[in-house]
Structure 1
C-alpha cells in the first residue's frame, strides 16, 4: 500500500531527523547514585537580616551553602551517532507561592547549577512562563546504538538572593516545594529525579527587636580563704539570661510577632546567641573558655572563672562571630518560635583554681552579656 508506506517513511524520517532525539520513556531515566528518585534539599529554616544594615537594590543579600546531588542518567530510543544529549533541570508548573513570597520580600532568587562533567555554570530563574528548564553539565554524545549513559555525575546547587527594592521589617515564608526535576534530556521525557526543598523564612528583624536582661547584675562569690583553695576547690553560683521581643512597634513587633498566612501558618523562627565579653578584672585563657582573674594590683591571683550551661558545656569568651553558636553550644541561648517570644536560660559561674600560687587581695571582673540573633 503506497500511501501507508509513504506515511511510514515520513514517520521514520521525523524520528531520525537531524538535531532531535526521541526516547522510549521506559529506557530514559535519571536516578541518584544510591538509586533513589527523590532528593530533599534541607535549606535553613530561617535566614535573618537587620533592615538597618541590609544592602541596597541589586546587591546579593545571601548565598546558600552548596547542596550536592550524585546522579546518573540514561537515554533510550532512536538517536543518530554524534547526537548531543544534555541533562535538563526543570521546574514543574508555575511557582506562584515562591514568586509571591519573594516579591513581598523585595528579593530575586537565582538557582546556580554546576556539574562535575563541566559545561560551565547554569543559572535558573524562570519561575513562571517559558522556558521552564535549563541545560546543565557537558553534553553526552550518542553512539547511535542502544541506551546512552551520562556516567556518574555530581550536581552542585547554590541559591542566591538579590535585593530588588528597599527592605523593611517583616518576615516572609517560602513554603516547602516539590517543584524541580532532573531529566536525562532537554525534551523532558522519561522518569526524573524529584528535587524537593524544605520551607524557609526570609526575616528582616531590627536589632532592637530582641530585648535582653539578667536575673542579677552581680554574681557574688564573697570572701574566699586561701587555705580553702586546693585542686578540688570549686565555688558555683547560678544566674539566668532572658530574652524577649521588644514591645515597641518601631522595633517591628506588629510585623514580626503574628503568623504569616500562606500555604499554612508560619511564625518567626529566630535563633539567639549570647556573647560574654570581658571588660576588666581578668584576661581570657588560651582557649577562651575561662577568665584568668587578677587582683587590684593587676596580678594573676591564682583563680579562674568559668561559665557553663545546664548541659555542662562551657561558654566561649570574647567571641561574637557568626560561627559561635555552632562552635560553642553553650553560647546558644535558645530561639523565638511558634509564636513564643520569650527565652530564659540558666547558667552557672564557677570559681576554680588555676594551679598557680593564690594571691590575696580583692578580685572583681566585669563582663558584658550581649544577646543577638543569627
Structure 2
C-alpha cells in the first residue's frame, strides 16, 4: 500500500510534534523513583507554557544589567546545574562571588533556599541573583520588568502562560520557579538497590560504602534516608568549621589561588593583599537570624547527584569527594560553634574508598535528559543582542 507524499509529510509532522510534546513533560514517573511525592498544587506541577517561559528566562543573558549573565552561567546544565570550574562563580563584571553555586537538581524540595536559608520559596529566591549588585546587578525589579516587556521575542509568552497576565515581579518569579521545579532527578542506582530491591544495582564496594555511610561514619545523621524515599538532607543548618567566619580568620604566609579552571598558584599573602580587595567575611545563617548559635552554620546540601556537583562546601573549598571524606574523617574544623555531631571517624583507607564509591551511586537516572531539555528550544542571547544557538 502506497501513501501520498502529503500524507507522509503530515505523519512526519505529527511524530515530530509528539516528540516536542514529550520534551516538555517535566519528569517521567521513573525519574522520581526514590524521591518523596510533591504536593498536589499548581505551583508544583507547572503547565508547559510556564515551563517553556521559565526555561527561556533561565537561559537569557539579557536579564542581567549588561546583557552578559544568565542563570545558566552559574547553574550550568551540563555541570549538574552548578559550576564545576571555580570554587565560587564569577559575577557582574568579573566579581568573585562569596559562595559556591548550589545545584538546582531537586531544588523543588528545598524549603529554605540559599546556603543561609534566607529565601522561603523559589519565587522569591529567583529575584535574589537578578538584583544582587555582584551577580546580575539590576538596579530594581521594575528595571527587569521594563526590559523584558521591550523584548519582541517575549511578546505574548507571559499572557499565554499566566492567563492574560503580563510580565511582572510575580509572573517572572513564578516562571523561573516553575521551570526549576521540573529539575527532578531520582531513580539513581542507590534507589533501585535500596528502594527497588535490585541487588545488582550496586557492587560490593558501593554496598560496603553504604554501610559505612549509615553506620560508622554516621553521615545519615544529617543526610537522612526515609522508608520509601530519601532527599539525603535534614534541611537544617550546621557549623562544620569551614568558611570565613569574621574574627576567626588566620593569616597564612601563602595562599593557593585559582587563576583559571585547572590552574592554581601559591601566592604570597602580602603580595595578594596589595592587588586585591579583602575577602569578605561570612557568618552563614547568623546573617539571617542574628542568633549567635547560628554563626558559621550553613544548610545541609542534598547528596543526590553529588558526584556531578564539585567543588564542595558552601565556599567551594573542597574539590573532590575524597577531600570531603578526609575533611569529615578529621571531624571538621574546630571552632566554638562547631556542631557536636562532628567527630573524628577513624576510617581505614578501604572504608574511605568504599564511602566515595557509594556517593557515586546517587546520580539520578535522567540527568543527561535534563541537560538536553535545558538547551532545547532555548536561545542564548549575548551582549548587544547577538543571538546564538546554545
TM score, norm. by length of structure 2 = 0.19
Q: Counting helix residues as a fraction of each chain, which structure ranks higher?
A: 2
Q: Larger Cα Rg: Structure 1 or Structure 2?
A: 1
Q: Counting strand residues as a fraction of each chain, which structure ranks higher?
A: 1
Higher relative contact order (CA 8 A, sep 6+): 2
TM score, norm. by length of structure 1 = 0.20
